[in-house]
Structure 1
Amino acid sequence: MAVETRYVTSGEVFVAYQISGQSAPDLLFAPGFVSHLEQAWENPDGARFLHGLGAFSRLIRFDKRGTGLSDRSVGIPHLDERIDDIRAVLDAAGSKRAFLFGISEGGPMSILFAATYPDRVAGLILFGTYACAVGASVPQDDLAAAERAVRESWGTGKSLPGFAPSIAGDPAAVQYFAKSERLSASPSDVINLLRMNREIDVRHILPAIRVPTLVVHRRDDVRVRSLAGRELAAGIANARYVELAGNDHIPWVQDQGLIVEEVRQFMGGAPDAVEIDRVLSTVLFTDIVDSTKRAVAVGDRQWRSTLEAHHAAVRSELQRYRGREVKTTGDGFLALFDGPARAVRCAQEIVRAVRPLDLEIRAGVHTGEIEMMGDDVGGIAVHIAARVAQRAHAGEVLASSTVKDLVAGAGLKFIEQGLAELKGLDEAVRLFSAVA
């Protein structure tokens, strides 16, 4: 069956996607490490798996940026960009609400999207994946050795035993896998992905998942420990965990029929809608340093003019980085972002933008659950961000460890500032200063 490959732009990047199967419900498939939309249909087992999913869903698939038929040589993709790509593909497909099916490396991005946009997610399905890459691998990955293996043998199919040992002795399977490696990514792209993956950690946001969730893992998965799957299910409220026999990491090898049936039953039993009043968001607080002292020194009229210029500069950067202004706090701002990397970069640009006004600001950034309260927001994440901002020095952007963990691959650099006791919190929070 020929399935049309289409393109949608996400920012300035072209993302390739395909739609197959039935008319509803929508099921978006977030692929693992690397993929190639069209070549996937050439594998009989892979095609049978996709047809199986398409028998009860409108199956929406895409190649992640930097892989397959999507734009290559786009640098190291980070989670902000990846959830933007999911949203762009769903929009292009005309999907208002979809089930997300994240396998392996596609899991963390699906988790972050489901927490950030719960109104667009009917349910979350996770297969052979993890919240934190470090400690999830089997065996414990030596990054240098993994990079060396890519340089020496990528494109030959020698990595197949590390993904599907049950078919590693089949010459035809090795030949197919070798072609898949070559079509899906270059060695340099793979090395970049390996480095980025080592930094992935979405454990902090698992409690923010409010949509129905199914976690499926093979007991002896050769790539990702089943313990990682059990930890996912334990961290997500009311998640259902299914552990299958076998050691293949690729879902369409071995007992693919069991996986397809679990997905079918899960999608059929999920509620039509889940009431969501809390979402994951990145909260930014800014504050002018020594504002009272400055106001006294220059007088009310001049200070009012300076504040107007400050507000204009801040709003310009918020618009540039897709931040949502919630309110001004006298001489500061409270804003929300759907991606932590954008929030940090926006804060850094605000620091620079107000210096020509002879102003210094401090900024605090934290990612967590917020409660929507009309035009205002509340929740512990808002309080944490405010407390973090209070700890920042003049000209400093201070971030929580949650933010730092979520911006892997974004090119941001941080200096650890240690643990801080924040008012109203039982546990200390590890803080990091974002380096300009």
Structure 2
Amino acid sequence: MTRPDTRYARSGDVNIAYQTMGEGPRDLVLVPGWVSNLDVFWEEPAMARFLQRLASFSRLILFDKRGTGLSDRVADMPNLETRMDDVRAVMDAVRSTRAALVGYSEGGPMCMLFGATHPERTSAIVMIGSFARRTWAPDYPWGPTRADYDRAMDEYTRGWGGPVGLDIRAPSVAHDPRFREWWARFLRQGASPGANRRLMGMNVEIDVRHVLPAVRVPTLILHNDGDRSVPVEYGRYMAERIPGAKYVELRGDDHLPWIGNADAILDELEEFLTGVRRGPEPDRVLATVMFTDIVDATAKAGELGDRRWRDLLDAHHALVREQLAKFRGREIDTAGDGFLAAFDGPARAVRAACSISEGVRALGLAIRAGLHTGECEVMGPKLGGVAVHIGARVAALAGAGEVLVSSTVRDLVAGSGLRFTDRGAHTLKGVPGEWHLFAIGKDSQA
């Protein structure tokens, strides 16, 4: 078997390693879990057969996440938003405008977030042995506690270099000397002990449960009933909350999809993808909305007079639009001194708001900004829906020079380095329930 050539796509200032194979009628991006190494993949016959089967009905696109495998090493492991950028960079490099995303284990949350945010580029999502949250919570009573997870992280760090974690990920081959040797090499070539510790630390922060209802592309969830690494309840939980998701529970104890009942997994996956027809363009999309307005604008206008105020407003608008362009935001609406913009990533939205807040100080102005991430209705070039209303209500509660975000935004930017101050629970006018709000810390502002 001839291995596919490894190429590199540029994502920001990081090089992402990728391979392509197959000439099928649809593109399929395989999003790996934990760590990976494209070259070592092909050294294991079971994995090679798994990949060849995928390539038999698709153009298969493989990649190593930044910080792992053949991709550039990075100082800090990326959050989900950055990983989305890397997938998009690889798709652009191979000129893929639309693809099915297949993610196993921790690859699933990224697939969900990408599919909800970019439904126009996602023909389908398949998640195998995956999850929306990795650890136990009072309203999520499965899996390891945070203390259990931390102990496992310590154990893996001490044992890195050997076949750590194999007993729960592939019990059917856990005592096979050849496979144990390959697994240990795969992990070593995938990440260093320190990089893996940072990666596991980032993964434990993943919680995309609030994204599940916003996934509107065809979705298949596959889960082995005896999976010891990711409990089967995780798969059932997602299937109950993703609209129209197809859930298939298979008999098996292995977590790695190319081990054990790989043929059953591939049969379900192939049937699902080859039967998918492109539906109507999506009328809903996951987005982060940002509202800004100038504090005490009326008083300032009265103080300056119409002409000087108009000049100042023009300078303010130019600065806001410059920052929107820099952080890939899209201007949705402008009314007087206020802006509504949308972003495809919450961390970029927060940083844009911080840059705008900092920039307008030089103009002698202060703004308030509010951000929320949610499912928005697409109405031509505009966005609407409850998520937009929530963003507006959050902005209304912000103080002068403050960037205020919903808990949804705070949760989604875990691992981004942004710091927050808890502003407590609030009632938002016209929105049911209480909403926990957070202010961006001063040390996070640009």
| TM-score, normalised with respect to structure 1 | 0.97
Distance 1:375 1:52 in 2: 41
Q: How many angstroms does 1:412 deviate by? A: 0.8
Partner of 1:12: 13
Question: Is the 1:64–1:70 contact (alpha carbons within 8 Å) kept by the matching residues of 2?
Answer: yes
Q: Which of 400, 413, 425 is the aligned partner of 2:431?
A: 425
Question: Is the 1:76–1:410 contact (alpha carbons within 8 Å) kept by the matching residues of 2?
Answer: no
1:232 aligns with 2:238: yes
1:194-242 alpha-carbon deviations (Å, 9 max, x no partner): 1111111111111111111100011121111111100111110110111
Partner of 1:353: 359
Q: Which of 177, 183, 203 is the aligned partner of 1:177?
A: 183
| TM-score, normalised with respect to structure 2 | 0.95
Question: Is the 2:116–2:286 contact (alpha carbons within 8 Å) kept by the matching residues of 1?
Answer: yes
Identify unmatched segments of 5+ residues in structure 2: none
Partner of 2:339: 333
1:389 aligns with 2:390: no
Q: How many angstroms does 1:327 deviate by? A: 2.1
1:367-419 alpha-carbon deviations (Å, 9 max, x no partner): 11122222322111111101100011111111111111111211111122222
Partner of 1:196: 202
Distance 1:154 1:212 in 2: 38
1:316 aligns with 2:322: yes
Distance 2:307 2:98 in 1: 51
Distance 1:272 1:385 in 2: 32
Give the secondary-structure state (helix, strand or coil) at the position aligned to 1:48: helix
Distance 1:211 1:148 in 2: 38
1:218-267 alpha-carbon deviations (Å, 9 max, x no partner): 11211111111001111101101111112211001101000000001001
Partner of 2:57: 56
Partner of 2:120: 119
Partner of 1:186: 192
Q: Which of 342, 347, 355 is the aligned partner of 2:348?
A: 342
> What amino acid sits opposite 1:20 in the alignment?
M
Question: Counterparts in 2 of 1:204-283, with a 5 A limit?
Answer: 204-283=210-289
Question: Is the 2:24–2:56 contact (alpha carbons within 8 Å) kept by the matching residues of 1?
Answer: no
Distance 1:27 1:259 in 2: 15
The alpha-carbon distance between structure 1 residues 29 and 274, as it changes in their structure 2 partners (threshold 3 A), is: farther
1:373 aligns with 2:379: yes
| Residues 15-24 or 58-67, more deviating | 15-24
Distance 2:380 2:60 in 1: 35
Distance 1:187 1:217 in 2: 29
| Residues 354-363 or 418-427, more deviating | 418-427
Distance 1:416 1:167 in 2: 47
Distance 1:419 1:19 in 2: 48
Task: Give the number of aligned pairs.
Answer: 436
Distance 2:312 2:198 in 1: 45
| Residues 338-347 or 84-93, more deviating | 84-93
Question: Is the 2:156–2:164 contact (alpha carbons within 8 Å) kept by the matching residues of 1?
Answer: no
Question: Is the 1:25–1:57 contact (alpha carbons within 8 Å) kept by the matching residues of 2?
Answer: yes
Question: Is the 1:158–1:174 contact (alpha carbons within 8 Å) kept by the matching residues of 2?
Answer: no
Give the secondary-structure state (helix, strand or coil) at the position aligned to 1:61: strand
Partner of 1:31: 32
Q: How many angstroms does 1:298 deviate by? A: 2.1
Question: Is the 2:376–2:385 contact (alpha carbons within 8 Å) kept by the matching residues of 1?
Answer: yes
Question: Is the 1:16–1:70 contact (alpha carbons within 8 Å) kept by the matching residues of 2?
Answer: yes
Question: Is the 2:28–2:61 contact (alpha carbons within 8 Å) kept by the matching residues of 1?
Answer: yes
Partner of 1:92: 93
Question: Is the 2:368–2:395 contact (alpha carbons within 8 Å) kept by the matching residues of 1?
Answer: yes
Distance 2:356 2:371 in 1: 13
Question: Is the 1:118–1:210 contact (alpha carbons within 8 Å) kept by the matching residues of 2?
Answer: yes
> What amino acid sits opposite 1:392 in the alignment?
A
Give the secondary-structure state (helix, strand or coil) at the position aligned to 1:357: coil
Q: How many angstroms does 1:74 deviate by? A: 4.2
1:244-300 alpha-carbon deviations (Å, 9 max, x no partner): 112211001101000000001001221233431111111000011111111112222
Question: Is the 1:65–1:74 contact (alpha carbons within 8 Å) kept by the matching residues of 2?
Answer: no
Q: What percentage of aligned pairs have identical amino acids?
A: 51
Give the secondary-structure state (helix, strand or coil) at the position aligned to 2:38: coil
Q: How many angstroms does 1:166 deviate by? A: 1.7
Question: Is the 1:323–1:335 contact (alpha carbons within 8 Å) kept by the matching residues of 2?
Answer: yes
> What amino acid sits opposite 2:244 in the alignment?
N
Question: Is the 2:174–2:180 contact (alpha carbons within 8 Å) kept by the matching residues of 1?
Answer: yes
Partner of 1:413: 419
Question: Is the 1:396–1:433 contact (alpha carbons within 8 Å) kept by the matching residues of 2?
Answer: yes
> What amino acid sits opposite 1:18 in the alignment?
Q
Distance 1:369 1:240 in 2: 21
Give the secondary-structure state (helix, strand or coil) at the position aligned to 1:410: coil
> What amino acid sits opposite 2:132 in the alignment?
A
| Residues 214-223 or 142-151, more deviating | 142-151
Partner of 2:70: 69
Question: Is the 2:24–2:55 contact (alpha carbons within 8 Å) kept by the matching residues of 1?
Answer: no
Partner of 1:109: 110
> What amino acid sits opposite 2:227 in the alignment?
D
